[in-house]
Amino acid sequence: MQPVDPVALTADLVRCPSVTPEDAGALDVLHRLLSEAGFECAWADRGGIRNLFARFGPNGHPRTFGFNGHTDVVPVGNPGDWSRPPFGAEIHDGTMFGRGTTDMKSGVAAFAAAAVDLVSSKPPEGAIILAITGDEEGDATDGTLALLDYMAVQNEAMTVCLVGEPTCPEHMGEMMKIGRRGSMTAWFTITGVQGHSAYPHRAKNPLPPLMRLMDQLASHTLDTGTDHFDPSTLAVVTVDTGNPATNVIPAEARGTVNIRFNDTHSGDSLTTWLGAQADAIASSYGVKIDMRVTISGESFLTPPGPLSDLVARAVEAETGVAPVLSTSGGTSDARFVKDHCPVVEFGLVGQSMHKVDEHVRVEHVHQLKSIYSRILQDYFA
């Protein structure tokens, strides 16, 4: 079998307009390639989301290298703002343009190409699993979680896993992720009593307690960071009353905060703290405060060790750059994989992801395949 061109495979995937939750044939492209190379493929669809599971080698082997990625992409926005067709995968001056070129169809293509080349030339003493979802950019409830549930039922397991998200801020090789901060959002609704603004004593204005609560939360220092994490952050992201009148005190006001937290905290501990702050304000002002919380993911860390060393050696060998071990950035599906096996992330430069004219350097896609190939070869050596 001829070596798989990761750039051509990336182009095939980008031409599938798989705006989450639509698949648009992207996973079929991978299914055909992997099946022809001898991978056992299965669908782990759930909730209208397509998810592809593929394994080469024996089920249950103690040396099973896993890869996790996604083929769904964010919307393009106004297509007229793009200088190239957002699903055209056009290459100009060594750069491919299109939604998903960076996040993360090229990462999926590079690993799939590396895996197919390896099993076609010298089948490994062990197994390779690819768990590819169509639900990472959306709610992520029926994507990688569905794949992991499918694996549990089928007694499938990865020994270690690499997530191919873009991890490098500016230059290839400069950063890999060994953990991620947790993420949660809290919505507060404060209920008072509506009244005439000329007679504030006859009303119960929900805005002063809301402002006090938002200020207290935003001014609080959650922590000063840990050995592998920066300090946790809390951001006030919206304050709303829906009040178009200037002579009416509204009956209700709402505020929302988003917290990105390190391993000093858990979602539950922060929920308890938020609730205590809200209760104190409600008591002080004599208003009712309702709180709703969604925890998108807990913080996690894969301690530096064999897996991060394996990836770092391959990255430095192919790029000449020793990657920094980082936990920065937002969330990824690694937050789900970490409950299954040790997981790290390494991928492309992410400067253009989610932007108009998202693009990737062709040479970087080839380089990423080389890095992934070396990781696999060294793992099974």
Catalytic residue set: 72, 136
What stretches of 37-131 show up as alpha helix (H) in DSSP?
Answer: 106-121
Spatial distance between the Cα atoms of 70 and 51, rounded to a whole number of angstroms: 9
CA nearest neighbour of 205 among 253, 256, 173, 170: 253
* CA 123 – CA 35 distance, rounded (Å): 15
The span from the first CA to the last CA of the chain, in angstroms, equals 22
For strands 160-163 and 64-70, give the pairing: parallel
Contacting residues for 310 by C-beta, under 8 A, at least 6 apart: 375, 378, 379
Rounded CA-CA distance 238/109 in Å is 38
Left, alpha or beta for 57 (phi > 0: left; psi -120 to 50: alpha)?
A: left
Strands, E, within the chain: which ranges? 40-43, 51-56, 64-70, 91-92, 95-97, 127-133, 160-163, 175-177, 179-180, 182-191, 195-196, 233-240, 248-249, 252-261, 288-297, 300-301, 324-326, 343-345, 359-361
Amino acid identity at 130: L
Whole-angstrom distance, CA of residue 345 vs CA of residue 188: 34
